[in-house]
Chains A and B, each alone.
Chain A
Amino acid sequence: MADRYLILEDGSAYLGEGFGSPAVSTGEIVFNTSMTGYQEIITNQIYHNQIIAFTQPTIGSYGINHDSYESILPTVKGVVVRDVASISTNRQRRWSLDQYLKQQNIPGISHIDTRHLAKQLRASGPMKASIVDVADAHAFDQLGATVLTNQQVAAVATPKPFPNPDTGLNVIVIDFGLKHGILRELSKRSCNVTVLPYTATTEEIINLDPDGVVLSTGPGKPQDLPDSVLTMIQNIQNRVPLFAIGLGHELFAMANGAQIMKLSPEHHGANHPIREVITNQIIYASQGQGYAVNPDTIDRNKLITTFVDLIDGTIQGLRYRDFPAFSVQFFPDGAPGPTETRDIFDEFVESMQQARGPVW
Chain B
Amino acid sequence: MRKEVVDSMAMKRALTRITYEIIEQNKGIHDVALVGIKTRGVYIAQRIGERLQQLETATIPVGELDITAFRDDQPVNAVQAPMAYQLDFDVAGKRVILVDDVLFTGRTIRAALDALMGGGRPQSISLAVLVDRGHRELPIRADFIGKNIPTALQETIKVSVTEVDGHDGIEIIN
Residues of A within 8 A of B (CB): 277-280, 304, 306, 319, 321-324, 343, 346-347, 350-351, 354, 358-360
B24 touches A324 (CB 8 A): yes
Of B10, B55, B150, which contacts A277 at CB under 8 A? B55
A347 touches B132 (CB 8 A): no
Lowest 10 CB-CB distances: which A-B pairs, in order? A358-B148, A278-B51, A360-B150, A347-B13, A322-B24, A278-B54, A280-B54, A278-B16, A277-B54, A278-B55
Most buried by B among A279, A304, A322, A360: A279
Q: Is B93 interfacial (CB 8 A cutoff)? A: no
Given A278-B51, A304-B23, A358-B132, A350 and B148 contact (CB-CB distance below 8 Å): no
Given A278-B16, A321-B23, A324-B24, A346 and B55 contact (CB-CB distance below 8 Å): no
A158 and B14 CA atoms in complex are apart in Å by 35
Q: How many A-B residue pairs have CB under 8 A?
A: 54
A279 and B16 CA atoms in complex are apart in Å by 8
A347 touches B16 (CB 8 A): yes
A346 and B14 CA atoms in complex are apart in Å by 10
A347 and B148 CA atoms in complex are apart in Å by 15
A319 touches B20 (CB 8 A): yes
Nearest chain-A residue to B19 (Cβ)? A278
A343 touches B148 (CB 8 A): no
Contacts of B150 in A (CB 8 A): 358-360
A224 and B55 CA atoms in complex are apart in Å by 32
The contact string, 1 if C-beta is below 8 Å from chain A, for chain B 108-142, is: 00000000000000000000000010100000000
A321 touches B28 (CB 8 A): yes
Considering only residues 7-41 of chain B, those with a C-beta below 8 Å from chain A are 9-10, 12-14, 16-17, 19-21, 23-24, 27-28
A115 and B137 CA atoms in complex are apart in Å by 69
A324 and B51 CA atoms in complex are apart in Å by 17
Contacts of B148 in A (CB 8 A): 358-360
Given A323-B24, A354-B145, A279 and B17 contact (CB-CB distance below 8 Å): no
A75 and B34 CA atoms in complex are apart in Å by 52
Of B16, B17, B19, B54, which contacts A354 at CB under 8 A? B17
Contacts of B17 in A (CB 8 A): 324, 347, 350-351, 354
A314 and B21 CA atoms in complex are apart in Å by 25
Contacts of A359 in B (CB 8 A): 148, 150
Chain A nearest CB, measured from B131 CB (Å): 12
A354 and B20 CA atoms in complex are apart in Å by 12
Size of the B side of the interface (Cβ < 8 Å), in residues, is 22
Contacts of B13 in A (CB 8 A): 343, 346-347, 350
Other contacts beyond A350-B14, A350-B17: 7, CB < 8 A: A277-B54, A278-B16, A306-B55, A351-B17, A358-B132, A358-B145, A360-B134
Chain A nearest CB, measured from B22 CB (Å): 11
A350 and B21 CA atoms in complex are apart in Å by 12
B16 touches A321 (CB 8 A): no
Contacts of B145 in A (CB 8 A): 354, 358
Contacts of A354 in B (CB 8 A): 17, 21, 145
A321 touches B24 (CB 8 A): yes
B10 touches A346 (CB 8 A): yes
Most buried by B among A324, A354, A360: A354
A186 and B132 CA atoms in complex are apart in Å by 26
Contacts of A321 in B (CB 8 A): 23-24, 27-28
A76 and B39 CA atoms in complex are apart in Å by 57
A146 and B72 CA atoms in complex are apart in Å by 80
A319 and B23 CA atoms in complex are apart in Å by 11
A295 and B51 CA atoms in complex are apart in Å by 21
Nearest chain-B residue to A304 (Cβ)? B55
Contacts of A319 in B (CB 8 A): 20
A280 and B53 CA atoms in complex are apart in Å by 10
A280 and B17 CA atoms in complex are apart in Å by 15
A322 touches B55 (CB 8 A): no
Nearest chain-B residue to A343 (Cβ)? B9
Contacts of B27 in A (CB 8 A): 321-322
Chain B nearest CB, measured from A325 CB (Å): 10
Contacts of A277 in B (CB 8 A): 54-55
A358 and B131 CA atoms in complex are apart in Å by 11
Chain B nearest CB, measured from A310 CB (Å): 15
The contact string, 1 if C-beta is below 8 Å from chain A, for chain B 63-78, is: 0000000000000000
A279 touches B54 (CB 8 A): yes
Contacts of A343 in B (CB 8 A): 9-10, 13
Contacts of B14 in A (CB 8 A): 350
24 contacts between A and B (CB under 8 A): A277-B54, A277-B55, A278-B19, A279-B54, A304-B23, A319-B20, A321-B23, A321-B27, A323-B24, A343-B9, A343-B10, A343-B13, A346-B13, A347-B16, A347-B17, A350-B13, A350-B17, A351-B17, A354-B21, A358-B148, A358-B150, A359-B150, A360-B148, A360-B150
Contacts of B23 in A (CB 8 A): 304, 321
